[in-house]
Amino acid sequence: MTVAFNGFGQKAIPFLKALDFHQSREWFLENRDLFEGELRDPFGDLVETLSERFAAAGLGLRGDRKKSLFRINRDVRFARDKRPYNRHLSAILSPDGTKMEQGVFFVHIGLERCFAGVAWWQPGPALLLAMRNAIATRPGEFRALIEALKQNRLELDAEGCMKRAPRGFEHVTAADLAAAIRNRHFAVRHEVDPAGIHAPALVDELVDFALRAKPLLDWGRAIEAKVPVD
């Protein structure tokens, strides 16, 4: 049975600050109860509450406290930065409830910022090519998506955009379409006031964002449905 989200603990961000300062397994184990009570368990409540609300809204996104949360531990095997712990905790809700799907809802609670995103993030080559082709060959549909997002106070994130047109798309000269085709991701974000993470109202805020981002989900899903499965 889902436990309603009542907000992150008041010590959630201070815990992340202290963990970032110590970066010590011994310190983390000594303070594990604080991590679980103030941050991890409320995050699980948030994910499962959002899952229910997203289902009711027909958004096709779900998750649970076991599969959706990312670990606080960093993967340092191939990293120069060997600090063992992240400065944030995050989670994904997706069409099948795993972290392997595209067209997802992402929540990030961290020291630098708190935000949510709806994204097609690093889509595979076939899907990314299909999205670029859709922009080039059906510009009206893409521009309608951009206008719908604009009406909903959202815009595509340009993070990681290529400097030049990908091969095969040099012929696209319209500035807006050319810029979009250079994207490696298709995502929108919503900044969350860190002061607001401690109240149940965060759920309504995130549901509202997901509904405003639905045009991006719909656009990507229509394209994805026509991409052959390997």
DSSP result, 164-219: SPPTT-TT---HHHHHHHT-S-EEEEEEE-GGGGGSTHHHHHHHHHHHHTHHHHHH
**Complete domains list, the chain, with CATH:** 12-224 (3.30.930)
Q: Which amino acid makes up residue 83?
A: R
pLDDT tens digits, 188-221: 999 999 999 999 999 999 999 999 999 999 999 9
CB 128 within 8 A of CB 184: yes
Count CB-CB contacts under 10 A for residue 111: 14
- Locus of tokens 């067209």: 103
CB 91 within 8 A of CB 63: yes
Collapsed DSSP state (helix, strand, coil) of residue 161: coil
> pLDDT 10s digit of each residue in the chain, 230 long?
677 999 999 999 999 999 999 999 999 999 999 999 999 999 999 999 999 999 999 999 999 999 999 999 988 787 788 889 999 999 999 999 999 999 999 999 999 999 999 999 999 999 999 999 999 999 999 999 999 999 999 999 988 899 999 999 999 999 999 999 999 999 999 999 999 999 999 999 999 999 999 999 999 999 999 998 76
